Structure 1
Amino acid sequence: MAQNIDWSAPWIDQCAWIFSNLENLTLDAKEALIVLLIAHYNRHDLPISTEAFAQKAKISEEEVDTIFQILSTKGYLTIDFVNGKVVFCLDGLVRMTRVPGKQLSKSLISEFEDEFGRDLSPQEMQKILDLSEKFTERQVICALNEASVYNKRNLTYIENVLISWSNKGLSTEDIESGIR
């Protein structure tokens, strides 16, 4: 099983592993390209920079930085400072790979992006993750659906809906059954 491999072993070709498991990772095309660039640069001990990646991927440096943040939020990427140098570690790819045959539920972030019709900012992503820690994921999805019904697709409205439900003592089942 993929989760048992020694990802950092010198005989592991991380780029080949990523290609072999791409369908099991929740990455869009740009994220996949940046992951492959990180693996390649790590393999050849090249310094990683947003400028170099932006040039290679033909996107802006801001977009590269945003993708770094997204990969970190998804748990795929950690950035550490080791022996005086910045290290981009992709160990999370192996831990977060879904088991083949098991259905992967759509991520909460993806639900919001689909409903909002755009990519979310890193601040919006963090706010959604904060909400999912305070409330259940199902409650956050219900609040997103409620906001959509009233055409109020913004995080402040969604948070206020969740707080209102919480103040009323409504359970997830109450919310899903329409008791509000």
Structure 2
Amino acid sequence: MAKKDPWNEPWFNQVAWLFAHLEDLHLDAREALIALLILDANAHNLPISPEVFAAKAKISEEEVDTIFNILSSRGYLKIDVVQGKVCFLMDGLMKNANPSGVSLSKSIISDFEEEFGRDLSVFEMQKILDLCETFGERQVVCALNEAVVYDKKSLNYIENVLVSWRNKGLSTEELESGKR
């Protein structure tokens, strides 16, 4: 018999589960706080408001939106309409705790946003996650640095650089030491 997912059972304490599995989820403090605020709002049938979350977390509404995108790109959060009401479904936390064994660090997202001069879309964050899983985070950072040097700041360019390096058989150590 298949094991039933307890996430939405009335007896299941989602907040306690989140605290017990924080290290598996690779959430930074702000992401964890927003996840907790979503779980609390859901538990008490309260509306989810970026304005309220921003005030509670003492961050901007744009940062709240970025965190929503990060949680969504990792598969933790699904925003859906159920019976005409917008719902923030968090059962992806349990389903996707350390899904691939690859942790996309907040710093690489910040690096891309800083170099691109804007917030990343959910698609772009997912693409970066895919590149990190395929090539490794260190190589992706090297490719980002290369894109910045040549002023070719696009994910397509970065992916082409990574494929080129792989075809040449270059190791991460060679790339980091500048041996190309």
TM-score range relative to shorter protein: 0.7 to 0.9
The two structures have a TM-score, normalised by structure 2, of 0.72
Letter of the aligned partner of 2:119 in structure 1?
Answer: S
1:36 aligns with 2:31: no
Aligned length: 171
Match of 1:78 in 2: 78
1:175 aligns with 2:135: no
Letter of the aligned partner of 1:145 in structure 2?
Answer: C
Match of 2:91 in 1: 91
Letter of the aligned partner of 1:174 in structure 2?
Answer: G
CA pair 6-149 structure 1, distance change in 2 beyond 3 A? same
CA distance in 2, matches of 1:156, 1:34: 30
Structure 2: 5+ residue stretches without partners:
none
CA distance in 2, matches of 1:152, 1:164: 13
Letter of the aligned partner of 1:69 in structure 2?
Answer: N
CA pair 49-154 structure 1, distance change in 2 beyond 3 A? farther
1:122 aligns with 2:117: no
The two structures have a TM-score, normalised by structure 1, of 0.72
Match of 2:13 in 1: 13
Quick check: 1:80–1:88 contact (8 Å CA) kept in 2? yes
CA distance in 2, matches of 1:160, 1:150: 7
Shift in Å at residue 51 of structure 1? 1.2
Matched position secondary structure for 2:170: helix
CA pair 134-20 structure 1, distance change in 2 beyond 3 A? closer
CA distance in 2, matches of 1:22, 1:136: 21
CA pair 142-42 structure 1, distance change in 2 beyond 3 A? same
Letter of the aligned partner of 2:36 in structure 1?
Answer: L
Deviations 1:46-77 (A, max 9, x none): 11111111121111111111111111011110
1:163 aligns with 2:160: yes
Matched position secondary structure for 1:175: coil
Structure 1: 5+ residue stretches without partners:
none
Match of 1:142 in 2: 139
CA distance in 2, matches of 1:81, 1:115: 33
Deviations 1:114-162 (A, max 9, x none): 7669597223x63353366589721785353245378639762664354
CA pair 85-154 structure 1, distance change in 2 beyond 3 A? farther
Q: Percent identity?
A: 35
Quick check: 1:25–1:98 contact (8 Å CA) kept in 2? yes
CA distance in 2, matches of 1:153, 1:95: 40
CA distance in 1, matches of 2:88, 2:114: 27
Quick check: 1:39–1:90 contact (8 Å CA) kept in 2? yes
